[in-house]
Amino acid sequence: MKALVAYSSRTGNTRMIADAIAPVLPGDVETVSVECAPQTLDHDFVAIGFWVDKGVPDEQAQEFMKRLRGTVVGLFGTLGAWPDSDHARECMESAVRMMEENDNRVICRFMCQGKVDPKVVEAMARYAPERHPMTPERKARLEEAAKHPDETDTMNAAKVFSAAVKEHFALAGRP
Ligand SMILES: Cc1cc2nc3c(=O)[nH]c(=O)nc-3n(C[C@H](O)[C@H](O)[C@H](O)COP(=O)(O)O)c2cc1C
């Protein structure tokens, strides 16, 4: 089996998840940032990682996602919001739709929080304080995000991907 883990990561959070997923995939596995993804995408399985940018997968991840056709894929993402929020769900759903529109099959998904660049939080406070007020809820969310991805996140991501790939390729008759 030939697998690719392609991630987009501005500050390293999504890369941490990519690095946890790659070792649990069977066969020949290559891990690359989406900008360095190979020209030919003939892999049996592609794990795609994005960071959430204004409610959708970041632009570089989207550019890579558009290149895939008829491929078995798994999606993973990191974001500042709570991973069980509607915001997180809607973002992952938009990524799934993008993949399915081009006949790709999504066999697993994983989302967790990732620390938000303090410079970005500061810029929001300076230029759009009315749009992003520092409420106690937002403060608590950012403080929690600052602790992620943690060991539990990386372990859970590895588990989700390992189980889905095993099940899918066993059913498809591939080792
Ligand atoms: C410009 C910008 C926009 C962001 N937009 C969102 C957003 O809409 N929702 C959210 O939950 N997190 C948002 N975040 C937080 C990131 O998705 C989060 O910190 C992510 O873990 C960064 O991943 P990385 O370290 O792999 O770049 C944003 C961060 C930046 C820098």
CA geometry: angle 91, 111, 9, nearest 5 deg: 85
The encoded tokens of residue 108 equal: 């697993």
Å from CA of 172 to ligand 1 middle: 36
pLDDT at 6: 98
Å from CA of 52 to ligand 1 middle: 5
Q: Is 9 in the pocket of ligand 1 (CB under 6 A)?
A: yes
What is each CA distance from 139 to 58, 116, 142, in whole angstroms?
24, 12, 5
The encoded tokens of residue 147 equal: 């602790």
Domain range for 22: 2-171
Q: How far apart are the first and last CA of the chain?
A: 7
Count of structural domains, the chain: 1
pLDDT at 173: 65
The pLDDT tens digits along the chain (175 residues) read 999 999 999 999 999 999 999 999 999 999 999 999 999 999 999 999 999 999 999 999 999 999 999 999 999 999 999 999 999 999 999 999 999 999 999 999 999 999 999 999 998 888 888 888 899 999 999 999 999 999 999 999 999 999 999 999 986 665 5
Please report, for the domain that includes residue 105, its CATH number.
Answer: 3.40.50.360
CB atoms within 10 A of CB 24: 16
Query: Which residue's CA lies nearest to atom 3 of ligand 1?
Result: 53
Å from CA of 18 to ligand 1 middle: 16
Q: Which residue intervals of 128-150 are DSSP H helices?
A: 136-145
